[in-house]
Homo-oligomer: A and B are copies of this chain.
Amino acid sequence: MSEWKTFYAHIRDKKKIYVLIHEKPDGDCLGTALGLSLFLKELGYEAAILHPAPIPSVYTFLPGQQHLKLWKDVLPAHALYVCVDCADWERTGYPMPENPYVINIDHHVSNVYYGNLNLVETSAAATGEIVYKMLKSSGIVIDPEVATCLYVALITDTGSFSYSNTTAESLKIGSELVMMGANIDTIRQNLYEKRPFAELLIVKLSLNNLFLAANGKIIAAAISYEEMRAYDLLDADTDGLISMLRAVEGVEVALLLKEFTPGQIKVSLRSKLTCDVNLLAQKFGGGGHPRAAGFVTSGKINEVRDAVIKLIENTF
């Protein structure tokens, strides 16, 4: 399915390729889009990653930034779009343009196969894995810049090969990308060694207000609007915090509630073994994976917390 020849058959007659990413792009989305764009550029294609909102500055160290175009207009009609890591068209953040030709590359189980070509592999730990296998099957050399981008895709979605989606295949691909010149020193320094000091402060603050339920099987932390504003944090800056909460012995579900605008609460959910937090998040119009999901709702932070905890308790 994800062979280069299938993909190539769909792009062969084109000159210009627009790559679309999802809102609040993560390392898998951006690394894959940048790696693919760099590769296509080397083959003589004109590749541009169109994005409606600025991308998180933590990823500006990645090669291929020249392909990123902050594009707020209507998307060009009759063009070729490669959507990366997007389960449906809406995730791109753009209204559908006139008569698009869509290649959909993704690994989410919730993907709705909206493309003219769908390269969807739900068993892949990252969308970067799918693109890596595709590029490798082309026989064309993957250069160190492309390898660096794809390595970032891989390690951000697998928690540096520590999450449950890690496979022998992910590790093998990681090894091959390092052999191809992925700059793991630069990656480490930028992803793991430039954490904002405010992240420590928010951890401190959250640990002062921990909430335990169901005999310690549920743990919750909450950040109010005033605190969110005071610390000016990005979404990704609280990933470490919820992982710490989930890691505690006896905890099955960890919740992090962030009031990002007054009365609007973003709820992140992580579970260990039994609780399907994707199903839970869907009840609030959100979604994700069984072990990691989230949603946005309105209400008072403590009330939202108690309502979610009650639902979780019902699943035990």
On A, residues with C-beta under 8 Å from B are: 155, 159-164, 166-169, 171-172, 174-176, 178-179, 184-185, 188-189, 192-197, 199-201, 203-204, 207-208, 210, 216, 240, 244-250, 272-273
Tell me whether A248 and B174 are in contact (CB under 8 A).
Answer: no
Closest to A162 in B: B160
A197 touches B161 (CB 8 A): no
Chain B min CB distance to A201 (Å)? 8
CB < 8 Å: which of B179, B195, B204, B272 contacts A248?
A: B195
The smallest beta-carbon distance between A69 and chain B, in angstroms, is: 28
Grouping DSSP codes into helix (H, G, I), strand (E, B) and loop, the A interface class, with mixed when no group exceeds half, is helix
Enumerate chain B residues within 8 angstroms of A172, measured Cβ to Cβ.
171-172, 175
Taking a contact as CB atoms under 8 Å apart, the answer to whether A244 and B240 are in contact is yes
Residues of chain B within 8 A of A244, CB atoms compared: 195, 200, 203, 240
Partner of A207, one of B160, B164, B167, B207: B207
CA distance in complex: A161, B207 (Å): 28
Tell me if A162 and B188 are in contact (CB < 8 A).
Answer: yes
Q: Which residues of B contact A160 (CB under 8 A)?
A: 159-162
CB pair B248–A192 under 8 Å, yes or no, is no
| Most chain B beta carbons < 10 A, residue from A175, A201, A207, A272 | A175
- B162 engages A193 (CB within 8 Å): no
Complex CA distance for A204 and B207, rounded to whole angstroms: 6
Contact assessment for A216 and B204 in the assembled complex, using a CB-CB cutoff below 8 Å: no
* Contact partners of A155 in chain B: CB under 8 A: 161-162
Q: Contacts of A189 on B, CB cut-off 8 Å?
A: 272-273
Closest to A273 in B: B189
Assess the B164–A195 pair: CB atoms within 8 A: no
Instruction: Tell me if B175 and A171 are in contact (CB < 8 A).
Output: yes
With the chains together, A250 CA to B195 CA distance in Å? 9
Known: A160-B160, A171-B174. 6 other contacts (CB 8 A): A164-B185, A167-B178, A171-B172, A193-B249, A196-B248, A203-B203
